[in-house]
């Protein structure tokens, strides 16, 4: 075991004290892991738009003070009682969802939505005892989505930690903890385009670009990017997108534009915006008889959309996905190997790097729309 096992560790963490206010670098105390938990030393973390969403606290229950962060790579420092698949020194990625291995979802080959460890955005404590593992001078600091990687050390349920190849660079593969796998898996695991097929990607942010990367890996010949911001089109070419449509440039619904471009519709569509209109367009732009549309974007809680039932009767399929249908512990190590063997390209997703002491710069880049992913180097 490590020399610090069983002890409280003092380290730096970027704490959000109020919604929308800059994070504050604080010295926090991180308790040892309890049964079924792991304490990780975080070496690199990345800023995902979901962190910004909950930091702004718009549309959900605010919970502060809190340590955000859920895309990261690190090394196991110590493990709690009963943890057998991890040991100190292992390289690992924490994930906002988990794999207990025991529930019906985990035992199913068709689902990754673990009953025990499925994401809970409102929970700010550990499942084991409903307590936090972070504190400042005795004051509890809340967790976020079970990971809280904006801290040099964090405690995570062992079922939410994937052991990975120690040769893989953590400053690159850390982006697989959330957005990249969500988009990539939506295409390769759910849409499953065949070589030579056509795919429309709605939304060219990080998740949409990852969906395009999945279409590229799958051998799609036409990858059509759909976005309201035309300046994103040039960057998207790096991810295999070879045609572009801005709905604002047309006086008819974009699904009609795409149907005309593709002689009746695309073979697959992946929606990565959370916009109800984009969801409708993605479904209605796929070809009858075999077209499949996959919804990835998270809508507002009161949203609903309608489409004519004949779209289903004409043999179009609508699917949803969660974290790209990847089981974290089982599948994430395999995705890392895809990167290691050159099949999956991750470097092009990383547009900025900042030291931990300047983490608020990462928020600025994201809010200005300047970054796909900003890597934050811990310990600096």
CATH of the domain at 217: 3.40.50.720
pLDDT at 1: 58
For residues 312 and 233, membership in a common domain is answered with yes
Q: Within this chain, do residues 158 and 103 fall inside the same structural domain, yes or no? A: yes
Do residues 203 and 128 share a domain?
no
* Same domain (yes/no): 207, 295: yes
Q: What is the pLDDT along the chain (380 residues), one digit of tens a residue?
A: 577 989 999 999 999 999 999 999 999 999 999 999 999 999 999 998 888 888 988 767 789 999 999 999 999 999 999 999 999 999 999 999 999 999 999 999 999 999 999 999 889 999 989 999 999 999 999 999 999 999 999 999 999 999 999 999 999 999 999 999 999 999 999 999 999 999 999 999 999 999 999 999 999 999 999 999 999 999 999 999 999 999 999 999 999 999 999 999 999 999 999 999 999 999 999 999 999 999 999 887 788 999 999 999 999 999 999 999 999 999 999 999 999 999 999 999 999 999 999 999 999 999 998 889 999 999 88
Residue 154, domain member (yes or no): yes
Active site residues: 48-50, 70-71, 100, 103, 106, 114, 118, 178, 373
**Residue whose C-alpha is closest to residue 55's, from 19, 30, 83:** 19
Same domain, 195 and 308: yes
Position 350 in a domain:
yes
In a domain, 32, yes or no: no
CA 334 from chain centre, in angstroms, equals 16
pTM assigned to the model: 0.94
Q: What is the rounded distance in angstroms from the CA atom of residue 258 to the CA atom of residue 243?
A: 11
Contacts within 8 Å (CB) and 24+ apart, 233-240 = 233/204, 235/204, 235/209, 235/372, 236/204, 236/209, 236/212, 238/348, 239/209, 239/210, 239/212, 239/213, 239/348, 240/212, 240/213, 240/215, 240/216
Q: Residue 63 is part of a domain; what is its CATH number?
A: 3.90.180.10
* Number of domains comprising the chain: 2
Q: Are 296 and 211 in a shared domain?
A: yes
Same domain, 19 and 160: yes
So what's the pLDDT on residue 59?
64
Say how far apart CA 22 and CA 54 lie, in whole Å.
Answer: 13
Residues 173 and 196 in one domain: no
Residue 130: CB atoms within 10 A of its CB come to 9
Does residue 219 belong to any structural domain of this protein?
Answer: yes
253 lies in a domain? yes
In a shared domain, residues 265 and 135: no
Supply 279's token pair.
């969801």
Residues 122 and 87 both lie in one domain: yes
Structural domain includes residue 362? yes
Q: Rounded to a whole number, what is the largest CA-CA distance in the chain? A: 66
Other Cβ atoms less than 10 A from the Cβ of 303: the count is 11
Q: Do residues 216 and 261 share a domain?
A: yes
- 67 and 125 within one domain: yes
Residue 1 in any domain: the answer is: no
In a domain, 110, yes or no: yes
List the domain range (segments joined by +) for residue 51: 9-25+39-177+346-377
């Amino acid at each position: 075991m490590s020399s610090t096992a069983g002890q409280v560790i003092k380290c730096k963490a970027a704490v959000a004290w109020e919604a929308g206010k800059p994070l504050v670098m604080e010295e926090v105390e991180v308790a040892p892991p309890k049964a079924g938990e792991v304490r990780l030393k975080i070496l690199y973390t990345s800023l995902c738009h979901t962190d910004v969403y909950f930091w702004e606290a718009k549309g959900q229950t605010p919970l502060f003070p809190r340590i955000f962060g859920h895309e990261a790579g690190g090394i196991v420092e110590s493990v709690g009682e009963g943890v057998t698949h991890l040991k100190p020194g292992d390289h690992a990625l924490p994930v906002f969802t988990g794999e207990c291995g025991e529930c019906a979802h985990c035992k199913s080959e068709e689902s990754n939505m673990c009953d025990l460890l499925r994401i809970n955005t409102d929970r700010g404590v550990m499942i084991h005892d409903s307590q936090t593992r972070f504190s400042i001078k005795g004051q509890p600091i809340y967790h976020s989505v079970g990971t809280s990687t904006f801290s040099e050390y964090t405690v995570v349920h062992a079922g939410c930690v994937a052991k990975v190849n120690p040769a893989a660079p953590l400053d690159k593969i850390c982006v697989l903890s959330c957005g990249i796998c969500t988009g990539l898996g939506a295409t390769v695991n759910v849409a499953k385009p065949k070589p030579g097929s056509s795919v429309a990607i709605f939304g060219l942010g990080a998740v949409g670009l990852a969906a395009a990367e999945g279409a590229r890996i799958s051998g799609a010949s036409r990858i059509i990017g759909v976005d309201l911001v035309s300046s994103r089109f040039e960057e998207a070419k790096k991810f295999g997108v070879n045609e572009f449509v801005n709905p604002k440039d047309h006086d008819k619904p974009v699904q009609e534009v795409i149907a005309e471009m593709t002689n009746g519709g695309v073979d697959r569509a992946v929606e990565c915006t959370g916009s109800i209109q984009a969801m409708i367009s993605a479904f209605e732009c796929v070809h009858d008889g075999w077209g499949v549309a996959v919804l990835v974007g998270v809508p507002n809680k009161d949203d609903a959309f309608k489409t004519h039932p004949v779209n289903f009767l004409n043999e179009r399929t609508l699917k949803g996905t969660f974290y790209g249908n990847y089981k974290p512990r089982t599948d994430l190590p395999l995705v890392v190997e895809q990167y290691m063997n050159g099949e999956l390209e991750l470097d092009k997703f990383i547009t900025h790097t900042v030291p931990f002491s300047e983490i608020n710069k990462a928020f600025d880049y994201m809010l200005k729309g300047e970054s796909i992913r900003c890597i934050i180097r811990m310990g600096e």
